[in-house]
Chains A and B, each alone.
Chain A
Amino acid sequence: MSDRAGITRRGLFRGIGTAGLIAGCKPGERPPTTTEEHGDAAGPGHGEAAFGPGPAPVSFTLNGEARTLEVAPHVTLLAALREQLRFTGTKVVCDRGACGACTVLIDGVARNSCMTLAHDVAGATVATVEGLASGGKLSVLQQAFIRHDALQCGFCTSGMLMSCQGLLERSRGQQLAREDVEAAIAGNLCRCGTYPNVVAAVLDAAKGSA
């Protein structure tokens, strides 16, 4: 899979749908519309092993540690993290890509883990909220969240932190504006109303870590 980070749950579902369609056709009857879907379809005949519907192994790096899981092809990264690995810091809120609560970093990019299949992260580096602190010490960003009271009930906090962490990693050393933070968390919903404090915390952390 060359462009792993670009594959979404929706994209892969589309791909699976195509693969199903292909399987239902006689050889030589492949519909012409499938050619553009090749990149997404991990089906047989494309140099990759078929797997499913049962669990199949997938390996990736989680918070710096190598992991191999047996997971069925339909299982999202979110479900695998929470239910299989018991990394419950990442939260389920809408489970369809609308709220950002399940945001994790995949190869450094903030993504909704509910819209990513576990098998999509094969070989990738995944970072969750549990990996932000190092050696028992909270990161500059985590400390800024606490200082600025950027959390109330805390249920959006993991996703907020990961979106902001992605921004800090990309912009390291550069001046951040309020609009940059707003863009980074535009997909993260908070019901308690912490947004202004999140923005203040990230701007503060950016100064501290620049």
Chain B
Amino acid sequence: MPDDRKVTLRVGFADQLRDIEVQLPAGEPKPWDARSELQVIGKPHPRVEAPLKVSGAAKYTHDIVPTNALWAAVLRSPHPCAVVEAIDVEPARAQPGVSAALALVKPGERVIFAGQDVAAVAAKTPEQAEAALRAIAVTYKPEPFVVDTAAAMQDGAPQVHRGKVQERSTEGDEPGAGGSAGQRGNVRTTPSMKKGDAHKGLRMAKVSHEATYTTQVHTHSALETHSIVVQWDGPKQATVWCSTQGIFSVRDEFAEVFELKPADVRVHTDFLGGGFGAKFGASAPGSRMGFIAGELARKAGAPVRLLLDRKEEHLCTGNRPDSRQRVKLGAGADGKLTAIHVQAHGTAGIGTGAGVGRNAFGIYSRCPNILVESHDVFTHGGPATAMRAPGHPQGAFALELALDELAAKLKLDPLDLRLQHDEHPVRRHQFELGRKQFGWDAGRKQAAALRTRQTRVRRGFGVAASIWGDFGRGKAVVATVSVARDGSVEVKNGLQDIGGGITTVVAQVVAEVLQRPVEAVRVRLGDSELGPSVGSGGSVTTASVTPAVRAAAEAVKTQLTALAAKQLGRKPEELTWSEGQVRAGTKAIAWAELCKKIEGEAVVATGTRPDTYGAYPVKFMGGSSYQIAGVQFAEVRVDTWTGVVAVERVLAIHDCGKVMNPLTARSQVQGGVILGTSYALTEQRIMDRVRGVMLNPNLESYKIAGVRDVPREIDVVFTPVDTGANNTGAIGIGEPSTIPTAAAIACAVHDALGVAVRDLPLTPDRVLAALGAVPTRGAS
């Protein structure tokens, strides 16, 4: 192995490119940079697994039925808070078809949200399992509860927790977020983000703006519900199929719960029907699914399938917390910000993680005084968990809309105000690009004209920014690449493809290195026995996995080059690779011939990824990794008679380092925009304050956007950036693409109406209330 070495990389973006020196660890291939000429990477390629998905052949956890498998069902607390006085699961055992029953609470224990695990059964059919649940006798003593965030903050509100709260974080959470700085009543303070003196900055301001912004609880609503299938292969060995974003998080939790060696738990996730942050570990955030399925299977002596239904999915598998954000902005007469102060409260139910992200602190960083204070407010609701860019969409909404309201007072163009305060060169470039491409200046003028004329239908233009970090993980992935004597190429890793397209990208990386057609690369993922990997959360997958895959493919290539050199009687460094053959001057050996010369069955190599070694041009706050840039522009149409908001166009300009596959990357950004639109306009968990239960745990009254609710046009533009962060140059895109959408839409509505609607979702009644057409309803 050669020693560490220095290489010169061409990094940057657009016309801002420069050479930097990077220290590479031993054995690390030279990173692809702005000078690299790549044949497959960066070219659109259809998903290699798509034929299975369009023909119904792809097997999801819902579709796995081991021989003699039983159905599990879980009895859930109907009470938001109650002490269990007595529980008897014996009557369930006597019901037809039932093989096992399990109490999940003991007498004297308290349940603290409606939907919490109480008992479980396994039976031959789902109907028998449901019927058996009804035979379980539970006596509850209901206790006072609170499900409303504002009410929970008041003195004397029922206490949700009676001790210090354990924070639960997953691979879906943003690194460095969270932590506790004290707890009083139901309010737990998380460490604040602070620079300068925001209070002083506000006092110095010539123009200021202060208002409260609220956002709703948003559920992940992945189409495949949380599901796990457990089969014991021996007293200390199990096979688990799980709809998960993190195969190894399932393995490790299952092993811990049942005191097994992780290597004796095999986890499969060939395909999963979405996750959005809620699917890590063997359990759901609010249900001990791994234990339930494993214990029922053990007791019954048969495999058990535990597939949640849609109602359970809403109640106990996580959600995005709500927020109530008091935003104070100060500026000088010249429009320079003197202070940003955000005080945020939100409920993650019985859980933690209601912070509002880094938007207010990290984006408009030329403001000298910033203070962001976040608080978790405990309520008797199902626990929140990381959801696609945890905290950020709610933080972006409040900050960006407040900036627009301040800009109006300053008589400044909101885009100019942003450009004055954002230091990130890529984001500044994106703002300028969008101004031209979106027709910003003309559009804003047109919107102003319609406002002046008081037309029934208005148009509005808004813009917002996103901030995320390159959290690509080093030393976490071991990928294996092999080339067999018959010329076939295979790559293996215990990763799951959540739908972002990583299977195809992995094939592309191997195809690029070995100069084989993408279709000729067999990709095997979705099995814990295929080598360590990362969870698909925090936008880390592509940045963590592709460098390890490339390292493995390069190692195989080195071995094949040596073999070719021997065959051609040349030195390895004299050889060049081109499609289908390895050449030295006039002598060449074809791929098939070369592979036949392999001694033994195959050439095999593993690859890993070192820690991130470069970060150009801007570091993510508080870390050494690259800060991912993105901006989105939105145009809305608002009917001032009905209050209905329609999103006409969104222009999403994003950076994800070196784009691996523009086809799938574009889809992912489009998906982020659509999720953000749905959050902005229709989705909302509604709690019954009197009974303490969710009123819309379904998909007809919990409204996720359909085809007619999404923007009429979504344009996706990538800003290619070479960061020198890792050997493929890939960084993440999943989270950044959904951060600014709701904020940009809300800003556009403000532009259309001349007044802000400060509460999400932007429902017709709120639009009409903002216009003074109907009385204001309190934000829930």
Contacts and interface: CB of A to CB of B under 8 A. Distances in A.
Interface string A150-176: 011111111001000000000000000
Contacts of A199: 707
A98 B699 contact: yes
Contacts of A92: 62, 307
Contact of B706 (A94, A155, A186, A197): A186
Contacts of B63: 82, 88
A195 B677 CA distance: 13
Interface range, B side: 35 or more
A60 interface: no
B56 A88 contact: yes
A181 B706 CA distance: 12
B27 to A, nearest CB: 35
Contacts of B625: none
A37 B127 CA distance: 27
Contacts of B257: none
Nearest to B737: A193
Contact of B710 (A83, A86, A90, A196): A196
B745 to A, nearest CB: 15
Contacts of A156: 223
Contact of B223 (A82, A145, A153): A153
Contacts of A70: none
Contacts of B272: 153
Contacts of B673: 193
Given A138-B55, A155-B274, A192-B499, A94 B699 contact: yes
A99 B700 CA distance: 8
B181 interface: no
B670 A197 contact: yes
A103 interface: no
B59 A149 contact: no
A98 to B, nearest CB: 4
Nearest to B713: A196
A189 B675 CA distance: 12
Interface string A173-196: 000000001100111111111111
Nearest to A199: B707
Q: Is the interface of B mostly helix, strand, loop or mixed?
A: loop
A189 B699 contact: yes
Contacts of B668: 152
Q: Is the interface of A mostly helix, strand, loop or mixed?
A: loop
B712 to A, nearest CB: 9
A132 B273 contact: no
Contacts of B672: 193
A89 B675 CA distance: 25
A88 B270 CA distance: 14
A181 B710 CA distance: 14
A103 B479 CA distance: 38
A102 B53 CA distance: 14
A59 B364 CA distance: 66
Interface stretch (B44-52, B135-143, B291-299): B44-52
B56 A147 contact: no
Given A153-B223, A154-B58, A98 B667 contact: no
Contacts of A145: 50, 54
Most chain-B Cβ atoms within 10 A of its Cβ — which of A133, A153, A195?
A: A153
A93 B223 contact: yes
B547 to A, nearest CB: 23
Contacts of A158: 56
B675 A155 contact: no
14 contacts: A89-B57, A129-B55, A145-B54, A146-B54, A149-B50, A151-B50, A152-B500, A153-B273, A154-B271, A155-B273, A157-B53, A186-B706, A191-B222, A192-B499
Interface of A: 74, 82-83, 86-96, 98-99, 101, 128-130, 132-133, 138, 142, 145-147, 149, 151-158, 161, 181-182, 185-199
Interface of B: 46-47, 50-51, 53-60, 62-63, 65, 127, 221-225, 271-274, 276, 307, 309-310, 498-501, 663-664, 666-668, 670-675, 698-700, 704, 706-708, 710, 714
Given A99-B699, A191-B274, A195-B674, 19 more contacts: A93-B224, A93-B699, A95-B310, A99-B223, A130-B56, A138-B55, A142-B54, A149-B50, A151-B499, A152-B500, A153-B499, A154-B53, A154-B273, A155-B223, A182-B708, A186-B707, A187-B706, A188-B706, A191-B276
